[in-house]
Amino acid sequence: MSISVSHITKLYGAQKALDDISLEIKPGEVVGLLGPNGAGKSTLMKILTCYIPPTSGDASVCGFDVLEQSMEVRRRVGYLPENNPLYTDLYVREFLEFMEGITHIAYRASRINEVIELTGLQAEQHKKIGALSRGYRQRVGLAQALLHDPEVLILDEPTSGLDPNQLIEIRNLIQLIGKEKTIVMSTHIMQEVEAICDRTIIIHKGKIVADDKTKSLLKAESSKIIVKVEFDKPVLRKLLVGIDGVKEAEISNQGRKDPGSRIADHGSTSWHLESKPSIDIRPALFRFAVENGLTVLSLQQDEHRLEEVFQELTRT
């Protein structure tokens, strides 16, 4: 296993940041680590990078114990912390040469060239880091984390604060790196996990509340399907819930659900309809419209998103 965690607990005084966590991550997996602020994500990452020790339990990276063999672990881990620490007065290439020196890596100009090319820093390598945009600073941080060609890459909020274009660039870069390395990445951006990660681990109040393949996690919750429909004339709720396969109907007010619409039987042109498990209600909706002299102006079936799964598991 690239990463093995067994019954890890971490206490900060009386506060329990991690509570008996166990997990295993195989070589080559790209894993998204999700959780609300204060859930324990960064604490777990700091333990795996040997930055802090666990209070109890065991953890190893590439077969090396984080307490007993911390130097071996550090040789195999690349780490990009949430607050990317950089020397802003140094030039990009100068910074990478400096980092190579203090980490006791045998100097290889060819390796610096490799990481500069991999992270797309060719045009920026002779600029001062302080003159770079946040997106390029993140690239410098990734380049530094990759200098020693680690087997495992741990990224704490790598896309935090980036604009949409920078976010896509860093996402593509992480996907490229993930073809060769094991990656553990924490983020609050659910679309990132859906796009990049093979597997999703959700932590809440120091405990793992979900751990599965990202696609399987979505599929497990996908029996609840919402269809948004707009007719050319008002329709009564009691007629819609009478359609075969419709479980619930709520009035949609310009895309926002009316909290009282579950009870009130009002006529409306726009509705949110929840289907019964594993039933596609769209064909029945079209038949209903034809039979009642209605025209369907719009029809959209919402895909189940990771954000909904996350909210459901971390609500309390």
Q: Which residues contact 244 (CB under 8 A, 6 or more apart)?
A: 281, 284
Per-residue DSSP letters for 268-280? EEEEEEEEPTT--
Query: Picking from 113-117, 183-187, 216-220, 307-311, which range would have the lowest pLDDT averaged per residue?
Result: 216-220
Give yes or no on whether 3-214 and 226-313 have one common fold.
Answer: no
Q: Does the 3-214 domain belong in CATH 3.40.50.300?
A: yes
Q: Provide the pLDDT for residue 271.
A: 93
pLDDT score of 259: 43
CATH classification (class only), 226-313: alpha beta
Per-residue pLDDT tens for 150-159?
A: 999 999 988 8
Q: pTM for this one?
A: 0.75
Q: Are 170 and 140 in contact (CB under 8 A)?
A: no
Query: What confidence tens digit (pLDDT) does each residue in 247-278 have?
Result: 999 898 644 444 444 434 557 899 999 888 77
Q: What's the mean pLDDT when you consider all of the chain? A: 88
Specify the pLDDT at position 136. 92
| pLDDT tens track for 140-150 | 999 999 999 99
Report strand pairing: 182-186 vs 30-34: parallel
- In tens, the pLDDT along 96-135 reads 999 988 877 766 778 899 999 999 999 999 999 999 998 8
**Dist. CA 200–CA 92, nearest whole Å:** 33
Sorting pLDDT into bands at 50, 70 and 90, what band is 223?
A: low
Distances (CA, A) of 53 to 43, 65, 70, 103, 281: 10, 11, 10, 21, 53
Min mean pLDDT across 89-93, 208-212, 223-227 is at 223-227
Among 44-48, 61-65, 159-163, 175-179, whose mean pLDDT is lowest?
Answer: 159-163
Q: List b or e across 42-80, with b for residues whose CB sees 16 or more CB atoms inside 10 angstroms.
A: bbbbbbbbbeeebeebebbbbebebeebbebbbbbbbbb
Domains of the chain, by residue range, sit at 3-214, 226-313
Handedness of CA 179, 200, 147, 158 (dihedral sign): positive
With the C-alpha atoms ordered 83, 26, 175, 171, is the resulting torsion angle positive or negative? negative
Supply φ then ψ for residue 97, to 5 degrees: -65, -40
Q: How confident is the model at residue 214 (pLDDT cuts 50, 70, 90)?
A: confident
pLDDT of residue 107: 65
